[in-house]
Structures are given as structure tokens and as C-alpha cells.
Structure 1
Amino acid sequence: MKNLKLTRPLAFFDLETTGIDAGSDRIVEICILKVFPDGRRESLVERLNPERPIPAEASAVHGIYDHDVRDCPGFRERAATYLGMLEGADLSGYNVQRFDIPLIRREFRDIGTDLPMDGVRVVDAMTIYHRKERRDLSAAVRFFLGKELEGAHSAEEDVAATAEVLDAQLARYDDLPDTVEDLAAWCNPVREDAVDRSGKFVWKKKEIVFTFGKYRDQTLASVRDSNRGYLEWVLRSDFPDDSKVVVQAALDGRLPDPPKG
């Protein structure tokens, strides 16, 4: 590290996983790069068998499929090695604070141990990027239109600038659709099998199935029958309104009919 002073090791790490839920998804690939104050480096990259099917949408992102990890070790078998590389080091990565650290700590807890975090300092490159590189309308005007936004936070100026930015975006990116219908679909992608717009629930074999949390891949009807309290918790929590409509319907005993075909 040329520009960062280290007083103890700094471990950069990244996880490829079965999904984006740090509370329930599993690791399919891990990479750790440990940088020491004297400049030495240790690195490790391994694939793991998550002991569950890898969803197609996850494989489409990281390119790792069930057959790629079928003969790989599970997390339990390699946990001691990972703990040895991470323990006693400060941690870094991209979005590690919100995703990678919570997920790997949960993996450790699932096998009866933990990654100690007392005194561990976390440097998240994504936090630096978001705080140092503005992503507001002024930045968009500068990037797409090559000028400064005059009268920022005046409603009239903001609206006019937004219209210009959108037109410039369409001119810049040839692959963007040029109809409102198609562009809205691009901005708000919905899975074909989704029950709700946010995709918290999907149709699978004519049953509504969770795509998140501890009941991932279980049917909504079975969870309603076994743990109504969990569904009531969803209603009280910060979930999209359309997802809550599905949950409320389940609690009321009026689940929608599956799509035909």
C-alpha cells in the first residue's frame, strides 16, 4: 500500500454468494488478500459448496454454477483457515460493512464460532466512493451535459435539468430503450415469476415462495401455518408495501391464484 500507513495487517476480502441476503445466503467463493505493515502479502481464493442450489440469478452475476462447486469443501471445513487469515487484522473491501462482514460472521456463528470484531477497524472503499464522489443532480448535469447546474434546488431549475439529463442519457447509452414503457421496465426490473414488484415472493410450482430471510425457498402458506408471528413481523418492518399486501393476504387466508400456463 503506497498511500496508506499500516500498523497491523489489513485484510481485503470479497465474497460471491447464493444471493444478497446476509442473514441467510451462503458463500460460494471467497478471496482474501492480507497486506502486512512490512509490505508482505498473503492471498487465498477458494470456492465452497454452499450445500444448497445456487439460484440462476446469482449464477448469472458471478458465473459460478452448482457443478462448479459440487466437489468443493463446505464452509465448516475451511473456516479455521479463514479465521486465521482474518483474525487480528483490520478489514477492508467494497461494501463489506453492509454485506460481506455480516454474512461471513453469520457463517461462522452457524458453525458455533465467530469472527471477533472488538478493536477491528473497517475501511470500506464503497463508503469513501459514495462520500467523495457526488451522485446528486448537480453531478449528473456536470457529467452528462458538461456544465454546472444553475440555481440548484430551485424546483424549476431542477426539473429542467432532469429533463436534459434524461435526454442526454438516452443519447449516450445506445442500449437504453426509447419508449417510456420499456425504459420504466429497465429502471424497475421485475422477475417474470415475481408475485410482488420487489420480488420478495415468487411463484414456484404454483406456490408462493420466499426469496429472502430464514424462510427463503419455503412457501408462504407453510410459514403462515407454522409461524404467523414472522409474517406479522414483516408487516411491522421496513418492507415494500406491495410485499406487505401479499403477506396480509396470506394472513387473511386469501392467497392469489397462481398464473395460468
Structure 2
Amino acid sequence: MNTARSADGTRIAHDHAGSGPSVVLIDAAGGYRDFNSLRPLADQLADKGFTTYTYDRRGRGLSTDTAPYSVEREIEDLAAVIDVAGGQAAVYGWSSGALLAIRAAAAGLPITKLAVFEPPYGGSDTHDQELVNQLKTLVAADNRGEPVDLFHRAIGVPDEIIAQMGPVKPLLEKIAHTYPYDWTIAGTTTTEHIKAVRVPALVLDSTATGKEMHDGVEEVARLIPQATHKRLDGEWHGLPDEVLAPELASFYES
């Protein structure tokens, strides 16, 4: 584990593996080194000839945090990791991490190619500050379980999947204070941000994901000027690493 220092002084913990062109992977809401990490996918890409970088987003795992939160600060965190990766890198983002990757590319970070899986884009340019405030209030009251359920229900996670979180829920409760960050990213990403992406992009989704998310993914692919859309066989809001890794490798090598 190493650390990069973001522009505001936040320490961003990151790991790397392999050798070859750099790929930085950005986790979804709830994802960090102790839960549902992208490390196994990164290791498969490392085996395919890439140097991969995974990192704990601010406020998670071994990374620190600095108030107040802003999407721009998270973009600066990614910039710090890309700097460590050699000054430019291909990027993969999953879910809200995909939207963060889109925002970073739109802001002009040195991203060579952009791959995103199911960015939660609903076509709205409005920000639900009420939900953000509700999440913050619950966490401030030391209630970390309810924000986990509230956030996942708000983004469309089926109740049966939420009910199955029991064994891993304590790991999600540790980073419940970061759920407002992801909701802010989702709620403030506009069509203008997406249209501003000027690098080749691969936009992916899973066959098992519902129509509402499929529609949003297709819209993202339509809005990015140099985007290709692929729908792959997988589970709800997820793809097996053995399906995803070859697609990413092929795209980054092309």
C-alpha cells in the first residue's frame, strides 16, 4: 500500500500490480479495500500486461478525508493517482465510480481511454439535496445502518439484494458517511459533463440489469462522442471478472 497526496492534502491509499500501460480503477459506492474491492479485476488486467492501480476513495479504507466534500476534490484525488501512475492512464469506473471517471475526463484529466460500467445516469440535471441531508443527519446521529439501506434503495437496488447484505453490512456501515458523496456525484452529473468527454470510451452494462439502468447507460453512450456500447452477460449491476477483464484489455490495447 502506498499513498498519493491530493491537492487539498488528503492522503489517498493505493495499490498497484503488474507492468505495462497504466490503468486506474475507480470503485463504486461502498467499494474499498475491505469490501467488494476491484483488486481481483485489477490482478486479471495485470496478468494481461497492464500496470493496474486501485485506490480507496476519500473517507474509505486507508485514505483520509478533508471537509467540505466536493466532486472537484474527488477529481483531484484521481489526478493524484494518475500522477503516480506516470502522468497519464487509461481508466475504468464502476457505477458511481463510472460517473466520477466521466467527470474527470470531462475536466481534462490525462485519461487516454475511458471504460465505464453502468454509470447511474438518470437523465436529470437536478440534485436531490434532501436525500443528501437525510444521509448526513443519520450518520451524524451515529446511525450507520439505516443510511446503507436508504442509499441502496434510492439507487434502485432490489429489496431482496438489500436483505442479503446482512453478513457484510458492518463493512458498509464503516463508510456510510461517504454515501452522500456518491449521491452528489450522481445528482450533479449533467448531459454537458458527458458530452465533454473527448477520449475513446467503452460503455458497458449487464444483460441482467433492469430497463431503467439500461436506458441510462444507452444515453451515456449516445452522449459521449467517441463511445462504443456493449451489453455483456452478467448479474444485476455486475459482471464476472473473467468476462469483464478481456473486454477491458481488448479496448485498452486497441
Q: TM-score, normalised by structure 1?
A: 0.23
Q: TM-score, normalised by structure 2?
A: 0.24
Larger Rg computed on CA atoms? 1
